Chain A
Amino acid sequence: MTQVDLQMPSGGQAVASPHAHGGNSVRRTMLQVQVALVPATLFGFWLYGWPAFFLWAGTILSCIAWEALSLRLAGSARVRPTLLDGSAVLTGWLLAMTLPPWAPWWVALVGGFIAIVIGKQVFGGIGQNVFNPAMVARVALLVSFPVSLTQWVTPMPLSAVAGPDFVDGLRIFLSDLPMPDAISSASLLGHVKTELSRGVDMAAALGGAHAPASSWLGVRPGSLGESSAGLILVGGLFMIGTGLIGWHLPLAMLAGLAIPAAIASSVDPTRYLGAAQHLLSGAAMLGAFFIVTDYVTSPNTRSGQLLFAFCVGLLTWVIRTYGGYPEGMAFAVLLMNAMTPVIDRFFKPRILGRDRRGKALDLPDSERG
């Protein structure tokens, strides 16, 4: 038997070193992330009714369809396995979480195209994308359709009498039924931005409906899956608990958002939103646990990840506070995605057998022979 045969037996797996397969796969990872998303998503369905469900289903279907089309056009030999690995489903799911819950069907269709075709397949498919596909689609949709992407609805739980039933929900999703004006509303961040620009005091702007206590629970206008910071946190802790993601990225991102917010609001509480409101509103929680933790678009080393995520949080705070848009999570993530190769260049993992500067490690005398 030749050496080649020894290293590559018929199964094509290396056996020379003591390798052990952990049983992990792309499919299993994607499935676990989806499990972590379930509580917040179900709560979103309950909160915003049937239109939210149809938007969620439509966005995922659109992502799968665009992925299938791209793979076909690219002449991929692995269309079925790639479709079944769940990465397109997860992209669609995350995108749907950030959309206004009553957005119409074409938002799902165009969003899927931008996420999968422009954000992912153009770069070469899974693992090759520079930018987080869901955030690319989110930003492109927001810039393209500013009106449709900022139409938040007041929560109207499934149990509520005035809420749309199954058929009406489908008609709202298909833009057959116009959205009633009376139930459209502003998100907390948008509301604060408008009030501040009108010269209203922060305390007055925060009064009434937008008490921070409701934020943990999430019964307030917002995106389909972002409203409930508490349930997102549950999903995130589940992922950390199962070892799917490390604590570095989420913690650094939340710190990057909370520290400047706390400093600014302690200096001038009439102009700056407090740390609690920043953390519990908008996409902060979703971003910290589900977006910046994307394996492909975040740095490789722990220290690089800390820097990356802290900068995402900091940029989010800067855009929210000084920018034109009330929410800046997606922009911050994309900007830092572009910086990831640079960060990886400066924070390289240690080479096995060498110290951080690349010098060979001193072996103990007993092993030197």
Chain B
Amino acid sequence: MSDKYGEIIKGGLWEQNVVFSQMLALCPAMAVTTSGTNGLGMGLATTAVLTASNILVSLIRKTVSSQVRIPVFVVLIASLVTIVDMAMNAWLHELYKVLGLFIALIVVNCAILGRAESFAAKSGVLASAVDGLAMGFGFTGALTVIGLIREFLGAGTVFANASGLLGPSFAFLEMKLPGYGGALLMILPPGGFAVLGFLLAGKRILDSRSARGAQADSAGCSVASHAGA
């Protein structure tokens, strides 16, 4: 049983990562990742919506007929996004001003409807919740990494305004490279695409290395088992 959840978590964080593997939700992934803080905030907001929508969809999966399931999912997701939108406006107003429209646009984030359709509508509540969290944190991680790289290269800062998102106790995260003017291009859209491209290439290198490692391992095992037999 724990194996199943392990698979879900591993898939969400790495193997089926929303941005790096499924190449979904690229619009927010490009548009808001001008800083690590923005990426983190957007990722966490999406995680909240994704987890809640996965749970709700899983709960109603047996009562909703397949003909009307998409509109029902959309209504659910839209309501959740509205709640998150209003909550962020109330309690994280500074970040809300930066992310602005993109919070409302979580509703059309294909990753959320995609998970509802491909996972939550077919799985139990607990598994769906774990999947939502894992996918959400995978998305958050991707956005934060893209944001951090773009922010560092483009403005020479790390987690600028993080205290506005996480509270004043997280001000220690904020760093600034003195005397670095920054490469403006990295903050602009081309920088986002370039960073995403290099990260994708990096992930492919890691994946192919580990695949080769696994092959070598299994080859070694089979030799050993033959020798044992």
Residues of A within 8 A of B (CB): 110, 118, 122, 140, 143-147
Contacts of B6 in A (CB 8 A): none
Stretch touching chain A among B15-23, B54-62, B184-192: B184-192
Please state if B184 and A146 are interface contacts (CB–CB under 8 Å): yes
Q: A140 near B185 (CB under 8 angstroms)?
A: yes
Mark contacts of B192-224 with chain A using CB atoms, 8 A cut-off: 1 yes-contact digit, 0 otherwise.
Answer: 001001000000000000000000000000000
Q: Which residues of B contact A122 (CB under 8 A)?
A: 197
- The reply to whether A110 and B183 contact each other, CB–CB distance below 8 Å, is yes
| B53 smallest CB distance to A (angstroms) | 37
CA distance A146 to B186 in the complex (A): 13
Chain A residues closer than 8 Å to B194, beta-carbon distance: 118
Query: How many Å from the CB of B136 to the closest CB on chain A?
Result: 31
Complex Cα spacing A147 to B190, Å:
20
The smallest beta-carbon distance between A137 and chain B, in angstroms, is 11
Is B181 an interface position by the 8 A CB rule?
yes
Taking a contact as CB atoms closer than 8 A, the residue among B181, B188, B197 that contacts A143 in the complex is B188
A146 partner residues in chain B, CB cutoff 8 A: 184
Question: Which residues from chain A contact B190 at a C-beta distance below 8 Å?
Answer: 140
Interface size on B, residues (CB 8 A): 9
Q: A144-B184, A144-B186, A145-B183 are in contact. List 11 more A-B contacts (CB 8 A).
A: A110-B183, A118-B194, A122-B197, A140-B185, A143-B184, A143-B185, A143-B188, A144-B183, A145-B181, A145-B184, A146-B184
Complex: A140 Cα to B188 Cα, angstroms: 11
- Nearest to B153 among chain A residues (CB) is A144
A146 vs B185: C-alpha distance when bound (angstroms): 10
**10 pairs of A and B residues whose beta carbons are closest in the complex:** A144-B183, A144-B185, A143-B185, A144-B184, A140-B185, A143-B184, A118-B194, A145-B183, A143-B188, A145-B181
CA distance A139 to B196 in the complex (A): 20
The docked-state distance in angstroms from the alpha carbon of A343 to that of B184 is 32
- Measured between alpha carbons, how far is A140 from B185 in the docked complex, in Å? 7
Which residues of A are found within 8 Å of B185, using beta-carbon distances? 140, 143-144
In chain B, what residue has the closest Cβ to A146? B184
Question: Which chain A positions have C-beta within 8 A of B188?
Answer: 143
Chain B residues near A143 (CB-CB < 8 A): 184-185, 188
Kindly state the separation between the CA atoms of A147 and B185 in the bound complex, as whole angstroms.
Answer: 13
A139 CB, min distance to chain B CBs, angstroms:
9
Q: Restricting to B166-187, which residues have a CB under 8 Å from any CB of A?
A: 181, 183-186
Chain B: CB-nearest residue to A143: B185
CB-CB under 8 A from B183, the residues of chain A are 110, 144-145
Minimum CB distance partner of B205 in chain A: A73
Closest to A140 in B: B185
Complex Cα spacing A144 to B190, Å = 11
Query: How far is B183's CA from A118's CA once the two chains are assembled, in angstroms?
Result: 15
Q: Could you give, for residues 4-42 of chain B, a 1 whenever the CB lies within 8 Å of some chain A CB and a 0 otherwise?
A: 000000000000000000000000000000000000000
Of listed B185, B188, B194, residue having the most chain A CB within 10 A = B185
Best-surrounded residue of A122, A144, A146 (most CB of chain B within 10 A):
A144
5 A-B pairs with C-beta separation under 8 A: A122-B197, A140-B185, A140-B190, A145-B181, A146-B184
The CA of A143 and the CA of B197, in the complex, are separated in Å by 20
Chain B residues with CB below 8 A from A145, complex form: 181, 183-184
Residues of chain A contacted by B197 (CB below 8 angstroms): 122
Contact A147 B184 (CB under 8 A): no
> When chains A and B are docked, how far (Å) is the Cα of A110 from the Cα of B190?
15
- Nearest chain B residue, comparing its CB with the CB of A139: B185
Query: How many angstroms from the CA of A118 to the CA of B201 in the assembled complex?
Result: 12
CA distance A143 to B191 in the complex (A): 11
Residues of B within 8 A of A118 (CB): 194
Query: In the complex the two chains form, what is the Cα distance from A146 to B181 in whole Å?
Result: 10
**B48 shortest CB reach to chain A, Å:** 35
Interfacial chain B residues near A110, Cβ < 8 Å:
183
Q: Considering the chains assembled together, what is the distance between the CA atoms of A238 and B197 in angstroms?
A: 41
How far is B185's CA from A145's CA once the two chains are assembled, in angstroms? Answer: 8
* Complex-state Cα separation, A144 to B188, whole angstroms: 9
Contact partners of B181 in chain A: CB under 8 A: 145, 147
